Structure 1
Amino acid sequence: MMNEQENNIQDENLEELNQQEPPENQESEEELSPEEKLQLELATAQDRYTRLFAEFDNYKKRTAKERVELIQSASKDVLHKLLPVLDDFDRALAAMQTAADIESVKVGIDLVDQKFRKTLALEGLKEMEDLVGQPFDAEYQEAITAIPAPSDKMKNKIIDVVEKGYFLNDKVVRFAKVVIGQ
């Protein structure tokens, strides 16, 4: 949509340039020699080229600036959404130091964990499903070691997950670190 707007602006500017040529020059062109007419056309074309080049340069600078601002504001939005979770962790840590009942602390930590995971899921983060027993796939997992398979069924399959893998909007942001059977 932005490119379409830019094209419309450039078209309007070209039309304005064409309309700005004084009618006196058009009448006097009949009196000019062919070389002078060509020089005048060349000067007009060069002027248009210079203006278009300047507009394009301004467009590139503006889009680069907008891209940087978008990246900065995106991380700002995510951090703003994570601040309540950080507050909950602070309250849980304070409650742990004075709590006599460990069960209530566990429940509180579970609630903070659920809130944190829900916030990350809303931002597009998705945990890779349970991988144990699945065939090894190098596109999604990283094999850190291979051990003898406990059965023939487990050969070239994942035996253990050392570190979970995650997707962000269906792109791998962290490969799962797994142990495979040989």
Structure 2
Amino acid sequence: MMNEQDKDIQEENLANIEGTNSEDVANTQELSVEEKLQEELAKANDKYTRLFAEFDNYKKRTSRERVDLIQSAGKDVLNKLLPILDDFDRALAAMETANDIAPIKEGVDLVNQKFRKTLMQEGLKEMEDLIGQPFDAEYQEAITAIPAPSEDLKNKVIDVVEKGYFLNEKVIRFAKVVIGQ
């Protein structure tokens, strides 16, 4: 028979073995929670990486589309201007053989009108009637100021050196003007 001391030692050993088993189970549970968190983190990182790659592809695709759109828009305008270029070539050829200047002037004037009409159809509009109007820095660029010939022309446009243009109501070139002081 076992004495009490041996019995206590045996119970203690059993308790240690059981305690170790319960600690192993706890560690296994902790690892499984840690593993779950690591899996969730890996999934989140994967999702983030895919989303970032998708966004990068989107940026590249829209950039290419924008370049293509700009190139094709220019192509359309140039196709509309090609007949006018042909008219200019015919006018130049006619000038070489012509004896009378009047028909040449008339032909060049017709080509000029056709050219302006085509540009107007594309949304280009010329700034008109600037002489005598007050200077407006939003639409005009003063290249020089001269003494005003009369008092009523002070701070007004006296001469237009270079015409200004709008494209669809937006200034694409400021008019270069001379103003009176």
Query: Do they fold alike, i.e. is TM over 0.5?
Result: yes
Partner AA of 2:55 in structure 1: F
Distance 2:133 2:76 in 1: 36
Structure 2 matches for 1:84-103, cutoff 5 A? 84-103=83-102
Aligned equivalents of 1:33, 1:146: Cα separation in 2: 84
Q: 1:100: Cα distance to partner?
A: 2.2
CA RMSD of aligned residues (A): 1.6
Tell me the distance in 2 between the aligned counterparts of 1:58 and 1:99.
61
Task: Report the number of matched residues.
Answer: 152
Cα distance, 1:109 vs. partner? 0.9
Question: Structure 1 residue 54 and structure 2 residue 53: aligned?
Answer: yes
- Aligned AA for 2:102? E
SS in 2 for 1:144: strand
* Counterpart residue type for residue 169 of structure 1: N
1: CA distance, partners of 2:101 / 2:39: 89
Deviations 1:92-140 (A, max 9, x none): 1111121222221111111100110011111111100110010001121
2:76 is the counterpart of 1:77: yes
Q: Deviations over 1:26-81 (max 9, x none)?
A: xxxxxx83222212211211111111111111111111111111122222221111
1:125 maps to 124
Taking structure 1 as the reference length, what is the TM-score of the superposition?
0.78
| 2-structure distance, mates of 1:41, 1:110 | 76
What secondary structure sits across from 2:144 in the alignment? strand
Counterpart Cα distance in 1 of 2:135 and 2:119: 26
- The ranges of structure 1 where at least 4 consecutive aligned residues each deviate by more than 2 angstroms after the TM superposition are none
In structure 2, how many angstroms separate the alpha carbons of the residues matched to 1:91 and 1:150? 45
What is the identity, as a one-letter code, of the residue corresponding to 2:144? T
Q: What residue identity is the alignment partner of 1:88?
A: D
Secondary structure (helix, strand or coil) at the match of 2:133 reads coil
Once the two structures are superposed, the pairs formed by residues 32-181 of structure 1 within 5 Å of their partners are 33-181=32-180
Name the CA distance, whole Å, in 2 between partners of 1:176 and 1:140. Answer: 7
Q: Whose Rg is larger? A: 2
Q: Which amino acid aligns with 1:50?
A: T
